[in-house]
Amino acid sequence: MSEYSFFAAVEKSFDKAAQFTKWDKGLLEQIRACNSVLRLRFPVKKEDGSIEVIEAYRVQHSHHKTPCKGGIRFSMGVNQDEVMALAALMTYKCAIVDVPFGGGKGGIKIDPKKYTTYELEKITRRYTTELVKKNFIGPATDVPAPDYGTGEREMAWMVDTFATLHPENIDAAGCVTGKPVSQGGVNGRREATGLGVFFGLREVCNIQSQMEKRGMTTGVEGKRVVVQGLGNVGFHTAKFFYEAGSILVGIAEYEGSIFKEDGINIFELMEHRKKTGSILNFPGATNLENSKAALELDCDILIPAALENVIDAENAPRIKAKVIGEAANGPITPEADEILIEKEILVVPDMYLNAGGVTVSYFEWLKNLSHVRYGRMEKRFNENVNAKILEEIEELSGKRVDDKARKLIKHGADEIDLVHSGLEETMINATREVIGVWDANPEIPDMRTAAYVVAINKVATTYAELGIFP
Ligand code: NAD
């Protein structure tokens, strides 16, 4: 297991897909290479007076478009190989969803639970300062975001540090995304990745040919769903499936996993976890033997939304789901991937499925550069026009539109409406494009390879049109 290289796995998937494209070998090599790797060691003085050396990274995988974009992860699993792999995935992810960024990723090798808030702030601010010193952060160069173990709080510290060091930069707020709304964040970023996972999987479930192949009906209503991880991505994914009428039969967290045949109410489960500190012993549910057991439950859709490599060659043969939605990055090892293809399980790949975060990050960055909230200029105008149209229709027809429809028709779009609709459009288009490439070439063995083909074609076209390669 220690031999395993996540970056090599990404390269392997890339090579598998590259054979279905007709780009020059040198150009393909440039696309898959990691352009810049920043490896940092810096000290932090803890509250007990001790000094600790912190290991951290920032990787810019591709500069075919700038800025580079990708989250910052706080985890003991962070190492250079992992950050490089995640940065590469970001390049391909951005390309598929037409977000004009190169891929980047960052990580600090710490367990955030072992530090006080004061220490975490010190570490985050020092990390940001190091990035500023090396020109590895900025609205035009490299724009981090939250990832595993980080959230709005860390992004607020980062933007404050950057803005302090660059008081002249009027666009400083665009140096990170995933900020609190009060610090230049955008409404809808918090749930974006989970909502994007939902929109992507819902679109897959609407494709009759894919559902028929697996003996499933179309639509997400009534589908039995298992989610691993109830963090930012997992919770929101579970919530949107629950609200769409799916049945959450299993949930896995690091403390264990549970099963409930008739469905788990996700809000009640979150309350239960808040009260007891665990998802275990949830009323009406059965505790499973360990945290990974839920992955093997009989279900329609399995959604790993925690960490990488949770489905490997050992447990893949026992997976019973018909569709796996990779909400986390790299949850399936390449060996497991081959087993799942054999079993004709449809794996909807991380590379585009969890692109909701970066898509809405793009909207946040655009908001920061334009210095105006979405909908501010047109909301009231549209509401006035819509009200006038309603009035005319009612007068001409002599009938009154009911209150529910009236509210809907009159409503002018708020920031959240525009962000959600932009995300829905993006995820539907990306799903159709990837499935379209897969359908058009029967030699392409799986959806992941089809997604890579879409990504490679888009990045290669940019390079080719830049004139860097003939
Ligand atoms: P998070 O820290 O908010 O949540 C992760 C959750 O996984 C936590 O609740 C944690 O307790 C749980 N977990 C840890 N080990 C587990 C185990 N062994 N079994 C079950 N659960 C376990 O992180 P997140 O932001 O939700 O990110 C999750 C994944 O999604 C990561 O792979 C990340 O790279 C990916 N991702 C995140 C975003 C984003 O916008 N946050 C975007 C794209 C991809």
Q: Is 193 in the pocket of ligand 1 (CB under 6 A)?
A: yes
- Whether residues 73 and 48 fall in one domain: yes
CA–centroid distance, 328 to ligand 1, in Å, is: 6
- Whether residues 220 and 328 fall in one domain: yes
Mean pLDDT on 23-36: 95
CA–centroid distance, 228 to ligand 1, in Å, is: 9
- Whether residues 315 and 376 fall in one domain: no
Q: Is 350 in the pocket of ligand 1 (CB under 6 A)?
A: no
Q: Is residue 348 part of a domain?
A: yes
User: Closest ligand 1 atom to the C-alpha of 292?
Assistant: 19
* Cβ partners under 8 Å of residue 25, min gap 6: none
User: Closest ligand 1 atom to the C-alpha of 329?
Assistant: 32
pLDDT value of position 4: 76
Check whether 9 has a pLDDT greater than 90: no
- Whether residues 49 and 179 fall in one domain: yes
* Cβ partners under 8 Å of residue 86, min gap 6: 6, 59, 70, 71, 73, 105, 107, 147, 329, 330
Q: Is 229 in the pocket of ligand 1 (CB under 6 A)?
A: yes
- Whether residues 45 and 118 fall in one domain: yes
Of 353, 387, 404, the one marking the end of a domain is 353
Mean pLDDT on 263-273: 98
Q: Is 158 in the pocket of ligand 1 (CB under 6 A)?
A: no
User: Closest ligand 1 atom to the C-alpha of 149?
Assistant: 2
The per-residue pLDDT for range 432-462, each reduced to its tens digit, is 999 999 999 999 999 999 999 999 999 999 9
Mean pLDDT on 138-146: 97
User: Closest ligand 1 atom to the C-alpha of 291?
Assistant: 19
User: Closest ligand 1 atom to the C-alpha of 355?
Assistant: 43
Check whether 43 has a pLDDT greater than 60: yes
* Cβ partners under 8 Å of residue 263, min gap 6: 242, 247, 248, 249
Which residue's alpha carbon is nearest to atom 1 within ligand 1?
A: 231
Percent of the chain with pLDDT over 70: 99
Mean pLDDT on 347-351: 95
pLDDT value of position 1: 43
Q: Is residue 12 part of a domain?
A: no
pLDDT class for 470, splitting at 50, 70, 90?
A: low
Check whether 423 has a pLDDT greater than 50: yes
Pocket residue to mutate for ligand 1, from 197, 233, 289, most atoms within 8 A of Cβ: 233
Which residue's alpha carbon is nearest to atom 41 within ligand 1?
A: 147
Q: Is residue 221 part of a domain?
A: yes
- Whether residues 344 and 208 fall in one domain: yes
Q: In whole angstroms, give the CA distance from residue 285 to residue 258.
A: 6
Q: Is residue 292 part of a domain?
A: yes
Q: In whole angstroms, give the CA distance from residue 36 to residue 104.
A: 9
- In total, how many domains does the chain have? 3
- Whether residues 207 and 147 fall in one domain: no
Check whether 468 has a pLDDT greater than 70: no
Q: In whole angstroms, give the CA distance from residue 463 to residue 470.
A: 9
The per-residue pLDDT for range 58-67, each reduced to its tens digit, is 999 999 999 9
- Whether residues 206 and 177 fall in one domain: no
The alpha carbons of the chain give a radius of gyration, in whole angstroms, of 23
CA–centroid distance, 305 to ligand 1, in Å, is: 5
The per-residue pLDDT for range 88-97, each reduced to its tens digit, is 999 999 999 9
Q: What is the overall mean pLDDT for the chain?
A: 95
Pocket residue to mutate for ligand 1, from 176, 226, 240, 253, most atoms within 8 A of Cβ: 253
- Whether residues 288 and 390 fall in one domain: no
CA–centroid distance, 186 to ligand 1, in Å, is: 21
At position 312, the amino acid (one-letter code) is D
Q: Is residue 250 part of a domain?
A: yes
C-alpha 21: how far from chain center:
26
- pTM score of the predicted model: 0.92
Cβ atoms of residues 455 and 351 within 8 Å: yes
Mean pLDDT on 57-79: 97
Q: Residue 404 pairs with which residues in a beta bridge?
A: none
> What CATH number is associated with residue 295?
3.40.50.720
> What CATH number is associated with residue 100?
3.40.50.10860
Peptide bond into 67 cis (omega under 30): yes
Of 123, 153, 183, the one marking the end of a domain is 183
CA-CA distances (angstroms) from residue 81 to 165, 308, 327, 331, 454? 30, 13, 20, 16, 24
Of 353, 370, 396, the one marking the end of a domain is 353
CA–centroid distance, 253 to ligand 1, in Å, is: 10
Q: Is residue 266 part of a domain?
A: yes
Q: Is 316 in the pocket of ligand 1 (CB under 6 A)?
A: no
Domain range for 203 is 192-353
- Whether residues 82 and 116 fall in one domain: yes
- Whether residues 312 and 408 fall in one domain: no
What residues act catalytically?
A: 105
Q: Is residue 407 part of a domain?
A: yes
The per-residue pLDDT for range 155-178, each reduced to its tens digit, is 999 999 999 999 999 999 999 999
Q: Is 252 in the pocket of ligand 1 (CB under 6 A)?
A: yes
Which residue's alpha carbon is nearest to atom 18 within ligand 1?
A: 254
Residues in the chain: 470
Query: Which residue in 272, 177, 279 sits closest to 228, CA to CA?
Result: 279
- Whether residues 53 and 133 fall in one domain: yes
Check whether 2 has a pLDDT greater than 70: no
Q: Is 305 in the pocket of ligand 1 (CB under 6 A)?
A: yes
Mean pLDDT on 196-225: 97
CB neighbours of residue 219 within 10 Å: 14
Mean pLDDT on 78-86: 96
Which residue's alpha carbon is nearest to atom 12 within ligand 1?
A: 229
Q: Is residue 330 part of a domain?
A: yes
User: Closest ligand 1 atom to the C-alpha of 354?
Assistant: 43
